[in-house]
Amino acid sequence: MMNNNRRLEILVGLFMIAGFVAFAFLAIKVSGLTTLNNSDTYQVFADFTNIGDLKVRAPVTVAGVTIGRVSSIILDPKTYEARVTLEIENNTKNIPTDSTANIFTAGLLGSNYISITPGFSDVFLKSGDTIENTNQAMILQNIVGQLMYNLNKKE
Amino acid sequence: MIEKIRQLGEKGLDFCESFGYSGMILIRSIIRKPDLKHGFRGLVEQLYNEGILSLIIIMVSALFIGMVLGLQGYNILEKFGTTQALGQLIALSIARELGPVVTALLFAGRAGSALTAEIGLMKATEQLSCMEMMAVDPLHRVIAPRFWAGFISMPVLATIFSAIAIYGGYLVGVKWLGVDSGAFWSNMQATVDFRIDVVNGIIKSFVFGFVATWIAVFQGYNCVPTSEGISRATTRSVVYSSLSVLGLDFILTALMVGGW
């Protein structure tokens, strides 16, 4: 009887451990939790005249390497510009203050992301700073529209 | 005509009454001073019955569901030349929806029906009344450990289901159909968010475990103590829990998509 109970408890223990292992698999391997810890990031702002299709959680890159994510997008009620908050990892501290933030599209029809082109200043961005130089999102329809307009003008 | 309306009202009153009664039973069986020494043994026993014995069916169906998703997803994505997105397709659909819902349906069929039949038979053979005669509260001795075991084991089963189903998709997509392994995992990790996708799926499985076990336990406790009554109660237990799992899934998804 005692032996039987012990076996039962061991089996249940194994069952719970299997649950935790599966949870760890989901957390680390599937959702990639280790790649970005929210605790060691700092916030930088950027104002865009048009953010196109940019979404919260879109990646922020320098030279194609992801260094952070977009954490919020709000409309500035006075300037009618979009104020984007960037969460940047602490191990990339040295972004010059005169860097330029662009909104690019991954592939032809992919999702939008923010690319930061570093400037030449010796002063680096701190938490709470704003990136002054920004280029708005390239919107495919506008580009096609301009192209059509120019082609018509030449004829 | 009047008779029909009267019957309708009676049905509604019956429904309200059984809903209230089931709530009372739930509250009376789970809110009380916990008896750690004896309660723990009963809980372990029920965890074995409801969790470990359901493990085989959960694991096998998870593997096949993951493999089927891999095949179907690959065939559709191949038309657009984006087979790299297979990883995120499989992981998102399983972690958000299929994991909790299919596990809950299987759980209701495997463990819930067994619970109802067991408690129903205890009632039919007057074991529950015997306990009351011996001043042992059957709600505490029989219902509570079964309810807690279901509530605990359902999320564990759902997590195991999700992990195995994603692995099944990996087997078909990467090992068989030749999707690049690095793209499979990295695309998955880039899209799946821990808080929004994984944790919300687990919250869902807690809710489903609560509802499915509650219904199973109540149907057993409330059944007509005859062999026909037990069979009806078992059927009702599976039907009601499946329906409420699917209905609740819609409500929960609406809440979660709505940015909760």
Domain spans in chain A, listed from the N-terminal domain onward: 2-33, 36-143
pLDDT band at B44, cuts 50/70/90? confident
Q: Identify whether the C-beta of residue B189 lies closer than 8 Å to the C-beta of residue A35.
A: yes
pLDDT band at B56, cuts 50/70/90? very high
Helices B86-93 & B144-170 angle (0-180, nearest 10): 170
**Whole-number Cα distances in Å, A50 to A31, A44, A72, A102, B249:** 30, 18, 15, 11, 37
pLDDT of B165 > 90? The answer is: yes
What pLDDT, on the 0 to 100 scale, is given for residue B211? 93
Q: A74-78, A91-95, B85-89 — which is least confidently predicted?
A: A91-95
What pLDDT, on the 0 to 100 scale, is given for residue B260? 54
| 3-state SS, one letter per residue, for chain A | CHHHHHHHHHHHHHHHHHHHHHHHHHHHHHCCHHHCCHHHEEEEEEEECCCCCCCCCCEEEECCEEEEEEEEEEECCCCCCEEEEEEEECCCCCCECCCEEEEEECCCCCCEEEEEECCCCCCECCCCCEECEEECCCCHHHHHHHHHHHHHHHC
pLDDT of B30 > 80? The answer is: no
| pLDDT digit string, tens, across residues B215-245 | 999 999 888 888 899 999 999 999 999 999 9
**What letter would DSSP give residue B178?**
-
**Whole-number mean pLDDT of chain A?**
83
Mean pLDDT of A87-116: 82
Nearest CB partner across the interface for B52, out of A12, A26, A57: A12
**Whole-number mean pLDDT of chain B?**
88
* Closest to B19 (Cα-Cα) out of B249, B208, B214: B214
| B182: nearest CA partner in chain A | A29
Phi, psi for A86 (deg, rounded to 5): -110, 130
What pLDDT, on the 0 to 100 scale, is given for residue A2? 56
Question: pTM for this one?
Answer: 0.75
Query: How far does A24 lie from chain B, in Å, by closest CA?
Result: 9
User: Quick check: A5 contacting B, CB < 8 Å?
Assistant: yes
Residues of B with CB under 8 A from a CB of A: 41, 44-45, 47-48, 51-52, 55, 91, 95, 153, 155-157, 159-160, 162-164, 166, 185, 188-190, 192-194, 197-198, 202
Is B194–A5 a contact, with Cβ atoms under 8 angstroms apart? no
Q: Which residue has the tokens 């009047």?
A: B2
**Whole-number Cα distances in Å, B95 to A25, B144, B247:** 12, 30, 18
Query: How far does A31 lie from chain B, in Å, by closest CA?
Result: 5
Q: Please indicate whether residue B160 or residue B257 has the higher confidence score (pLDDT).
A: B160
pLDDT band at B101, cuts 50/70/90? very high
| pLDDT digit string, tens, across residues A10-61 | 888 888 899 999 988 888 887 776 654 555 788 889 988 888 878 777 888 8
pLDDT of A106 > 80? The answer is: no
